[in-house]
Amino acid sequence: MTALLEARGVVKRFGGLTAVDGVDISVGAGEMVGLIGPNGSGKTTLFDCLSRVLDIDGGLIEFDGTDIGRHRPHDVARLGMSRTFQLIRVYRDLSVAENMHLSIQWGSLGVPQLFARTDAAARRRADELLDFLLLGRLRHERAGNLSGGQRRLLEIGMSLMSEPRLVLLDEATSGVNPTLAADIADRLRAVNSERQVAFLLVEHNVQFVADLCERVVVLDQGAVLAEGTPGEVTQDPAVIEAYFGDPGDDTAGDDRVGNSPAGAGDGTAP
Amino acid sequence: MSRAAPGAGAVARRWPAGRAVGVGALIVLVVLAVLPLLGGTSNATLLTLTLMLTSIGVAINWNLTGGFTGYVDFGHAVWFGIGAYATAILISLQSNGPQVGWPPVPAILVGALVAGFLAAIIGRATMRLKGPYFSIAMLGTFVALREIVRVWSPLTGGGVGLTLPPYLNRMLFYYVELALVAALVVGTWWLRRTRFGAALMAIREDEVGAETRGIDTTLLKTAVFSFAGLSTGLFGALWAYQNTFVDPDIAFVEVRTIDAVMGTMLGGLGTVAGPVLGAAALYWVRELLWTHLLDAHLLAQGVLLIVIVLFVPRGLVGLVDRRGTSLFELWGWKGWRLEGRRLHRGPAAGGEAEAAS
């Protein structure tokens, strides 16, 4: 499979702390890849590096063969990589539809279109996506009035509005009830199969990742700890130790609860 | 889900109210257009009304960056001063012999362009900063440029200033400024409905989010900042020509920025009608305070500012419509946010704090 996103040796430091330490990761066209790891392992920082929200201190990031290491975030978005955030970023004073209209492919607009209202094609696409994401009846609702799960769906819809080839999804099921999480998984699977959109998912809900992804990358302390199928990584002793800590250590952390690889069978979220 | 959102459907449902506002604005415009044609309108009255229009125009321009884009500019009056001085320099150009100054119209237009050009250069640098840092940087820009004008005496006349040829057709200036303000109101109303306007509000609410959704935030915010500088420079250029004299202390006045900020906050930050209503109301309040409370008019204005910030954070427009924002939100004062018409501190209902992060 041709790599759509290829990152090699990515390093990000904050002062003396190395948050991302020489990470290699790739996502093929139309592929769904999971990125898991204990709290503080560098998953979201890596996302920020890949989407160019943060500058990197070393390494190479290519998207569809283009070196994007010095691109600005809007350039990356215009190349076809969109993302969501761990802390939801929707425009809460705007309506659901207006949020979608703001997430168009801005790179294709000339000056006349910039000073025009949202066109019929963009409105139609927004309506289709909102229906697809079960938000159609809320299109005129103020985004700030939506529930946390609905806002997650809206943010996913916004990330799909620009017809991206790769979406970085950060904690798509955080704060979402299991029923809605299952709906989100269904929608993502459908988008992937019908529109050939690739996904890189950061998740604490290992079951969610295992259900969706063929390949999973595990980060620990900013470095890649393991990579393989969901079955392989959840059985990897190093991964289990990263989540559970030293079996002899009674002070092992909170990751024991709910979001460990061993919890892949129960599908619980932290 | 208690309230209709400002989406396309909501706009359609509010059409009668929108039409009423439009009809009301048209009536006010007609009254202002006819007023000077009625007998008994003195030059002093025309000057007062022209200065009110100047205040409204500057407030509308300030609102483009402060209200729509969320960059609270504490040095906006610098563009007024630059426009005034550039025009005054061009008009009063002298060679060794006869005066070779420019005619008024090109001098005024070039004066505005100089302000817009400088705004583009300075905005490109200062708009890398956020929140209060940007505000203070612009205040510093204002003071620095005023001092440059003061010491660059071969060109600017230094502290003595420049004198322009007298041309006191008050009615002409009144109509020119009325037309400019009307054009700015219509332009802002239209901008608010375009993708460009929506992108500015996206920058105001969440600049990182806007960038990752493909909006070139640097280009758009610099463009709107430059236009605001150019437009305020135009008002400054017109003012210089009417005033027939400029010096640093009357062309670069902090109160012009304060009036723009206060007027826009009083009317409603980030709204179309807000700066118009607020600047007009503030102008007459100031006139009244100046007339009747000369010793305490600054104190009264300070109290008014505190009252606006605390009790009408969304301004007059916010009393009937929850569009717009407040200084609390623009500066991201930790924990403070607007819920409906009231300021609250702490987490919001329905997990909004998460969305606001």
In the predicted structure, residue B307 carries a pLDDT above the cut 80: yes
Read off the pTM: 0.84
Chain A interface, mutation test: which of B192, B212, B222, B330, most A Cβ atoms within 10 Å? B212
**Degrees to nearest 5, angle at CA B283 with B278 and B286:** 120
Task: Return all residues near B212 (Cβ < 8 A) that are at least 6 apart.
Answer: A51, A53, A73, A74, A76, A77, A82, A83
Give the pLDDT of residue B27: 92
Pairing of strands A3-14, A17-28: antiparallel
Question: How would residue B95 be classed by pLDDT, with cut points 50, 70 and 90?
Answer: low
Which candidate in A50, A71, A94, A170 is best for mutational testing of the B interface (most B CBs within 10 A)? A94
Q: What is the mean pLDDT of residues B16-37?
A: 84
The arithmetic mean of pLDDT across residues B294-299, rounded, is 81
Query: What is the structure's pLDDT at A255?
Result: 42
Give the nearest partner residue to A114 out of B9, B196, B356, using CB atoms: B196
* Cβ partners under 8 Å of residue B69, min gap 6: B200, B203, B204, B220, B221, B224, B225
Helix B195-205 to helix B170-193 angle (10° resolution) is 80
Chain A segment 147-206 residues within 8 A of B by beta carbon are 147-148, 151, 158, 162, 175
pLDDT band, very low/low/confident/very high, at A229 (cuts 50, 70, 90)? very high
Confidence of residue B330 (pLDDT cuts 50, 70, 90): low
**C-alpha to C-alpha distance for A192 and A198, rounded to whole angstroms:** 6
| pLDDT of B324 over the 90 cut | no
pLDDT at A246 over 70: no
Pinpoint the residues of chain A covered by CATH 3.40.50.300. Answer: 1-80+165-270
B9 neighbourhood in chain A, CB within 8 Å: 139-140
* pLDDT tens, residue by residue, B62-87: 999 999 999 999 999 999 999 999 99
pLDDT band at residue B286 using 50, 70 and 90 as cut-offs: confident
Model confidence at B233, in pLDDT bands (50, 70, 90)? Answer: very high
Q: How far is B140 from chain A (nearest CA, A)?
A: 29
pLDDT at residue B5 greater than cutoff 50: no
Of A77, A85, A95, the CB nearest to B6: A95
Alpha-helical (H) ranges within B3-72 are 8-13, 15-34, 43-63
Segment A45-66, tens digit of pLDDT: 999 999 999 999 999 999 999 9
Contact across the interface for A93 and B205, Cβ inside 8 Å: yes
Interface residue A117 vs chain B (CB under 8 A): yes
In chain B, the residue whose alpha carbon lies closest to the alpha carbon of A108 is B214
pLDDT computed for residue A184 by the predictor = 86
Q: Is the per-residue pLDDT at B234 higher than 80?
A: yes
Query: In this structure, is residue B82 part of a structural domain?
Result: yes
Measured between CB atoms, which of A98, A106, A146 is closest to B7? A98
Nearest to B257 by CA among B105, B101, B104, B74: B74
What ipTM score was computed for the predicted complex, to two decimals? 0.85
CATH number, domain of B133, equals: 1.10.3470
What is residue B346's predicted lDDT score, i.e. its pLDDT?
55
- In A, which residues are within 8 Å of B212 by CB distance? 51, 53, 73-74, 76-77, 82-83
A39 or A259: which leads in pLDDT: A39
- With CA atoms as reference, the chain B residue closest to A98 would be B7
Q: Judge: B5–A82 Cβ closer than 8 Å, yes or no.
A: no
If you ran DSSP here, which 8-state letter would residue A80 be given? Answer: T
Cβ separation A102–B210 shorter than 8 A = yes
Show which residues on chain B lie within 8 Å of chain A, measured between beta carbons. Answer: 1-10, 191, 193-196, 198-199, 201-202, 205-206, 208-218, 322-323, 325, 350-352, 354-357
Looking at domain A1-80+165-270, its CATH superfamily turns out to be: P-loop containing nucleotide triphosphate hydrolases (3.40.50.300)
A74:B215 CB<8 A:
yes
What pLDDT score was predicted for residue A83?
94
The answer to the question of residue B3 being in a domain is no
A67 vs B10 pLDDT, higher one: A67
What share of chain B in percent tops pLDDT 90? 52
Mean pLDDT estimate for chain A: 86
Tell me the C-alpha distance between B213 and B263, whole Å.
33
A247 compared with B21, residue with greater pLDDT:
B21
A111 touches chain B (CB under 8 A): no
Q: What is the mean pLDDT of chain B?
A: 84
Work out the minimum CA distance from A193 to partner chain B, whole angstroms: 23
Residue B168 has pLDDT above 90, yes or no: no
Interatomic CA distance for residues B123 and B57, integer angstroms: 20
Cβ–Cβ below 8 Å for B213 and A144:
no
**pLDDT value, residue B92:** 85
Query: Measured between CB atoms, which of A103, A142, A175 is closest to B213?
Result: A103
**pLDDT at position B335:** 54
pLDDT of residue B6: 41
How many structural domains compose chain B?
1
The candidate with the shortest Cα–Cα distance to A203, out of A231, A223, A184, A221, is A184
pLDDT in tens, A154-203: 999 999 999 999 999 998 888 778 888 888 898 899 999 988 999 999 98
pLDDT tens for residues A68-101? 989 999 999 999 999 999 888 898 888 999 999 9
- Domain region containing B94: 15-356
Q: What is the arithmetic mean of pLDDT over A94-116?
A: 90
pLDDT-derived band at B99 (thresholds 50, 70, 90) equals low
The pLDDT of residue B355: 35
Please tell me the least confidently modeled range out of A10-24, A225-239, B70-84, B313-327.
B313-327
Mean pLDDT calculated for residue range A204-211: 86
- Percent of chain B, pLDDT > 70? 83
- Give B165: exposed, middle or buried? Use CB within 10 Å, 0-12, 13-18, 19+: exposed
Residue A112 has pLDDT above 70, yes or no: yes
pLDDT score for A249:
53
What is the structure's pLDDT at A248? 53
Kindly state whether residue B9 falls inside one of the protein's structural domains. Answer: no
Domain annotation covers residue B5: no
Q: Which residues of A touch B2 (CB under 8 A)?
A: 145
| Span of A105-114, A213-222, A254-263, B236-245 with lowest mean pLDDT | A254-263
Assess whether pLDDT exceeds 50 at residue B13. Answer: no
Cβ separation B198–A116 shorter than 8 A: no
Selecting from B9, B10, B355 the residue whose C-beta is nearest the C-beta of A92 gives B355
Chain A segment 62-81 residues within 8 A of B by beta carbon are: 72-74, 76-78
